[in-house]
Amino acid sequence: MKNLLAAVALIAGAGMFANTASADGLALAKKSGCLACHAIDKKIVGPAWKDVSDRYKGKNAKAELITKVKAGGKGNWTEVTRGVPMPPYSPRVSDANIEKLVDFILAL
Ligand code: HEC
């Protein structure tokens, strides 16, 4: 199963089956509880993920965003959220799934 997931991630990374990958990303976000506060293209409690992607795309921010999802925090979107913090997700969401979620968001 792990190998299969790795293969799927590789294929998705290559840009093939991108729709399947984003459907998986969205399903994982839903399952993980992210969609209570986030949507792809509008602010809910947290910033729209499309805006997150636009801000960080090409800036090598993946590790920083993974840390933020794991540990939570605030301060990067205060103008959007008025200072509401993002809750910590580690360990209730696995490291592997947090990485998948961040990849999904950055690819939007
Ligand atoms: C209780 C509401 C809430 C939930 C649930 C939530 N978030 Fe957030 N999220 C926020 C807020 C608020 C911010 C803005 C934080 C800031 O200002 O730095 C944020 C910011 C982010 C950012 C941008 C971080 C940055 O520093 O720019 C990412 C990526 C993100 N969330 C991903 C996720 C993922 C993935 C999940 C599910 C595992 C999730 N969020 C669940 C409220 C939430």
pLDDT at res. 14: 47
CA torsion through residues 37, 78, 23, 6, sign = negative
Measuring CA to CA, how many Å separate 11 from each of 21, 64, 96?
9, 24, 17
pLDDT at res. 104: 96
Which atom, in ligand 1's list, is nearest to the CA of 55? 27
Give pTM, 2 decimals: 0.87
pLDDT digits (tens, 9 = 90+) for 80-106: 999 999 999 999 999 999 999 999 999
When pLDDT is averaged across residues 22-29 and rounded to a whole number, the result is 93
Distance 7 CA to ligand 1 centre (A): 28
Distance 70 CA to ligand 1 centre (A): 10
- Where are the chain's structural domains? 2-106
Sorting pLDDT into bands at 50, 70 and 90, what band is 21?
A: confident
CATH topology of domain 2-106: Cytochrome Bc1 Complex; Chain D, domain 2 (1.10.760)
Amino acid in position 78: T
Amino acid in position 23: A
